[in-house]
């Protein structure tokens, strides 16, 4: 998959990805608007080109309060995100090229006020979705917001994702409509964060096309 050109679909008029981006950006604004006065910490997992966060921060009143880290493996997407942050004068936003699945990538910023896990849950196994939600309890501060996305194609995992989140202390604040053409949610963490476990892998990024052939299971590497 060319993850750089994949982002072009966001620009297609009326596309589900474009509508999803707009919805997620609205939730980013809401999260920033409701953060307490003072410094704000933001983490973006598998950030891609950072459009969801950077597109909001460039003209948001809280922009100078925000220190953020966007973690992305694809070099071309990292370059785009860095250029966008620089052009917007967002000097406290760090774009890191690296494996977003490794907990070490978030040392120093976790627990954060806003955590974005967008474009992840549709590309990892159902087992890893649940596992990653467990780690979100380490990435989010008490009162912090978790924004996440997941397609709603059959079998629709979104209701189960909400159950997993709510069992871990995340309170549902917003969920996209079932017929929106995409799945996205905003949950507020209501517990004290767990200590960040160093050197652990939260998930294996498999890809939607592979998962569609395995019914949401991580493929057997021996096959």
Per residue in 43-83, pLDDT (tens digit) is: 999 999 999 999 999 999 999 999 999 999 999 999 999 99
Domains of the chain by residue range: 6-214
Question: pLDDT category, 8, cuts 50, 70, 90?
Answer: low
How large is the average pLDDT for residues 184-199? 97
Q: Flag whether pLDDT at 196 surpasses 60.
A: yes
How large is the average pLDDT for residues 75-94? 97
Contact partners, residue 103, CB within 8 Å, separation at least 6: 135, 138, 196, 197, 198, 199, 200, 201, 202
Q: Flag whether pLDDT at 32 surpasses 90.
A: yes
Mean of per-residue pLDDT scores for the chain: 92
Rounded Cα–Cα distance for residues 197 and 184 (Å): 27
Token digits for 93?
A: 């936003």
Per residue in 143-174, pLDDT (tens digit) is: 999 999 999 999 999 999 999 999 999 999 99
Bridge partners, residue 174, by sequence: 186
Res 14: pLDDT: 80
Q: What is the 3-state composition of the chain as percent helix, strand, coil, each rounded to the nearest 5?
A: 40, 20, 40
Token digits for 198?
A: 């160093």
Taking each helix axis as running N to C, give the angle between helix 158-167 and helix 126-139, from 0 to 180 degrees, rounded to the nearest 10.
40
Strands 184-189 and 170-175: antiparallel
Specify the CATH number of the domain 6-214: 3.40.50.150
Res 152: pLDDT: 95
Q: Flag whether pLDDT at 223 surpasses 50.
A: no
């Amino acid at each position: 998959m060319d993850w750089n050109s994949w982002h072009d679909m966001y620009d297609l008029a009326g596309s589900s990805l474009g509508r999803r981006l707009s919805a997620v950006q609205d939730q980013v604004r809401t999260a920033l608007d409701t953060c307490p006065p003072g410094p704000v910490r933001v983490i973006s997992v598998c950030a891609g080109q950072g459009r969801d966060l950077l597109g909001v921060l460039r003209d948001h009143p809280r922009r100078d309060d925000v220190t953020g880290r966007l973690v992305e493996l694809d070099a071309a997407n990292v370059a785009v995100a860095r250029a966008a942050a620089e052009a917007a004068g967002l000097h406290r936003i760090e774009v890191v090229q690296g494996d977003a699945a490794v907990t070490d990538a978030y040392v120093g910023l976790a627990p954060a006020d806003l955590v974005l896990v967008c474009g992840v849950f549709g590309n990892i196994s159902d087992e890893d979705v649940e596992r990653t939600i467990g780690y979100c309890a380490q990435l989010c501060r008490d009162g912090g917001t978790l924004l996440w996305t997941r397609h709603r194609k059959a079998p629709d995992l979104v209701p189960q994702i909400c159950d997993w989140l709510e069992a871990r202390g995340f309170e549902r604040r917003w969920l996209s409509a079932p017929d929106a053409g995409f799945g996205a949610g905003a949950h507020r963490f209501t517990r004290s964060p767990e200590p960040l476990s160093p050197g652990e892998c939260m998930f294996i990024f498999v890809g939607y096309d592979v998962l569609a052939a395995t019914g949401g299971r991580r493929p057997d590497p021996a096959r």
